[in-house]
């Protein structure tokens, strides 16, 4: 075991609380430092947690609480030009859980607090310096915190990433802008089905909601990235007019947009991915979650991978003899997996704004893909069956 007994976790989103809970389970005391002045209740759109993410959450005892707030999705369908193609899946794994980010945040925050983990708000990291025995973090309010290690769970715009490597790349724009809402209309689709639809001018997805209505999200093609402030500065009614025009020729896209209240439109913002990083750690600092590896939302794995990495980092700090070897072992466990999933998802992104020829050929292409390449055990098995053996010692 390392001589690490304390940790500073920067970022109170998803990876931060899970990291703190996993460290506590490993015998390491962690305090979460969140830049925003209060909790993030009501902020964010919808995300998916796959079976591998739920398996990782089980290690810190939070999986059932997450299932309780989720909508199970047991079937996925590809829809192109009015044709629906059911995608093969793994019959014996837990269904994907669709959750609102704000609800997931609340569950993780409450679970961490119940385990005695402290979250300090209004702590925006500005710098960090190593000492002979640890590391000292400096915050914008003038305060400092000391611990044995500092963990950056601070998302795609990570401050910790730039402290580790000032030349590290930032997130890349996928060319799409995300929106979500719920329509007062029922689609003739079986409950528990997620439909991925390629419209004439943009990609969208939709799912029946419990109690009636249909939830939907869109990836609207955009020439330039919008900051969240820029996107939210545009009135929701104006964005809704844009969406209704973009999906006017699609069914059920047209009806979903028309039957949604503009005031309830959720502006998710420009969708971004993290390119591969040269350095995940330096000295006593290390990255976890989206700060190191944010795949596109096409992967359906962003949150699950962040949770896995939090657990594996705690294992390595528990079992390896020193900080450098623990961080190196952690990166070795994670890099090839997360970069492989991100690479496959990036290829899907290229198909989200099909041209006329692409829309005609897509059904034929999808059938060929499902016959030849979409062996679910080969493509989905290694991703969704991944399970961390917490009790097994981590090795270099």
Range of the domain at 317: 6-71+95-171+274-351
Residue 386 counted as domain residue: no
The residue with tokens 């902020």 is: 43
Same domain, yes or no, for 329 and 317? yes
272, 301, 331 - which closes a domain: 272
The two structure tokens encoding residue 329: 């072992």
Q: Which pLDDT score is estimated for 251?
A: 93
User: Which of these, 139, 113, 111, 145, lies nearest to 127 by C-alpha position?
Assistant: 139
Residue 83 counted as domain residue: no
* CATH code of the domain containing 313: 3.50.50.60
Same domain, yes or no, for 252 and 179? yes
255, 272, 289 - which closes a domain: 272
Q: Which pLDDT score is estimated for 371?
A: 53
User: Which of these, 17, 260, 12, 235, lies nearest to 115 by C-alpha position?
Assistant: 17
Q: Which pLDDT score is estimated for 97?
A: 96
Same domain, yes or no, for 51 and 158? yes
Same domain, yes or no, for 144 and 15? yes
Whether the per-residue pLDDT at 239 is higher than 50: the answer is yes
Whether the per-residue pLDDT at 43 is higher than 80: the answer is no
Same domain, yes or no, for 158 and 305? yes
Give the whole-angstrom CA distance, residue 318 versus residue 394. 8
Residue 156 counted as domain residue: yes
pLDDT category at 150 given cuts 50, 70, 90 is: very high
**For the chain, what percent of residues have pLDDT higher than 90?**
68
Q: How many domains does the chain have?
A: 2
Same domain, yes or no, for 232 and 313? no
Give the whole-angstrom CA distance, residue 316 versus residue 51. 23
Residue 303 counted as domain residue: yes
Same domain, yes or no, for 16 and 153? yes
Same domain, yes or no, for 45 and 126? yes
Residue 387 counted as domain residue: no
Q: What is the pTM of this model?
A: 0.91
Beta strands in the chain (DSSP E): 6-10, 29-33, 46-49, 71-73, 75-80, 83-86, 96-100, 119-120, 125-131, 134-139, 144-147, 149-152, 172-183, 193-198, 203-208, 214-221, 266-273, 281-282, 285-287
Same domain, yes or no, for 16 and 99? yes
Same domain, yes or no, for 34 and 149? yes
Q: What is the DSSP string of 302-331?
A: HHHHHHHHHHHHHHHHHHSSSHHHHHHHHH
Residue 86 counted as domain residue: no
Whether the per-residue pLDDT at 224 is higher than 50: the answer is yes
Residue 120 counted as domain residue: yes
Give the whole-angstrom CA distance, residue 178 versus residue 168. 25
Q: Are 33 and 135 in contact (CB under 8 A)?
A: no
Same domain, yes or no, for 106 and 156? yes
Residue 366 counted as domain residue: no
Same domain, yes or no, for 25 and 153? yes
pLDDT category at 396 given cuts 50, 70, 90 is: confident
* CATH code of the domain containing 234: 3.30.9.30
Work out the average pLDDT over 37-57: 83
């Amino acid at each position: 075991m390392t001589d690490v007994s304390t940790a500073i976790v920067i970022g109170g989103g998803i990876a931060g609380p899970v990291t703190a809970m996993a460290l506590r389970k490993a015998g390491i005391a962690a305090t979460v430092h969140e830049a925003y002045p209060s909790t993030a209740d009501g902020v964010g759109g919808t995300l998916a947690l796959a079976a591998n993410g739920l398996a990782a959450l089980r290690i810190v005892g939070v999986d059932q609480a997450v299932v309780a707030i989720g909508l199970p999705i047991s079937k996925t369908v590809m829809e192109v030009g009015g044709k629906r193609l059911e995608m093969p899946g793994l019959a014996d794994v837990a269904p994907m859980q669709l959750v609102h980010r704000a609800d997931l945040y609340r569950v993780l925050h409450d679970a961490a607090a119940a385990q005695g983990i402290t979250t300090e708000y209004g702590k925006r990291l500005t710098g960090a310096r190593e000492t002979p025995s640890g590391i000292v973090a400096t915050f914008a309010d003038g305060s400092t915190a000391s611990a044995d290690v500092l963990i950056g769970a601070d998302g795609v715009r990570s401050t910790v990433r730039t402290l580790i490597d000032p030349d590290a790349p930032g997130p890349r724009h996928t060319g799409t802008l995300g929106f979500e809402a719920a329509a007062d209309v029922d689609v003739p689709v079986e409950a528990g089905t997620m439909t991925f639809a390629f419209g004439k001018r943009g990609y969208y997805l939709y799912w029946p909601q419990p109690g009636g209505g249909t939830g939907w999200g869109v990836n609207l093609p955009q020439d330039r990235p919008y900051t969240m402030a820029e996107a939210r500065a545009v009135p929701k009614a104006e964005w809704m007019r844009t969406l209704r025009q973009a999906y006017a020729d699609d069914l059920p896209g047209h009806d979903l947009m028309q039957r949604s209240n503009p005031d309830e439109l959720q502006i998710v913002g420009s969708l971004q991915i993290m390119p591969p990083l040269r350095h995940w750690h330096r000295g006593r600092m290390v990255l976890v979650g989206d700060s190191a590896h944010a795949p596109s939302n096409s992967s359906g794995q962003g949150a699950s991978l962040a949770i896995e990495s939090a657990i594996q980092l705690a294992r390595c700090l528990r079992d390896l003899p020193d900080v450098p070897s623990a961080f190196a072992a952690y990166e070795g466990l994670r890099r090839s997996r997360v970069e492989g999933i991100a690479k496959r998802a990036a290829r899907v992104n290229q198909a989200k704004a099909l041209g006329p020829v692409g829309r005609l050929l897509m059904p034929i292409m999808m059938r060929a893909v499902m016959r030849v390449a979409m062996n679910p055990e080969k493509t989905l098995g290694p991703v969704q069956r991944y399970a961390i053996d917490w009790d097994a010692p981590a090795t270099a």
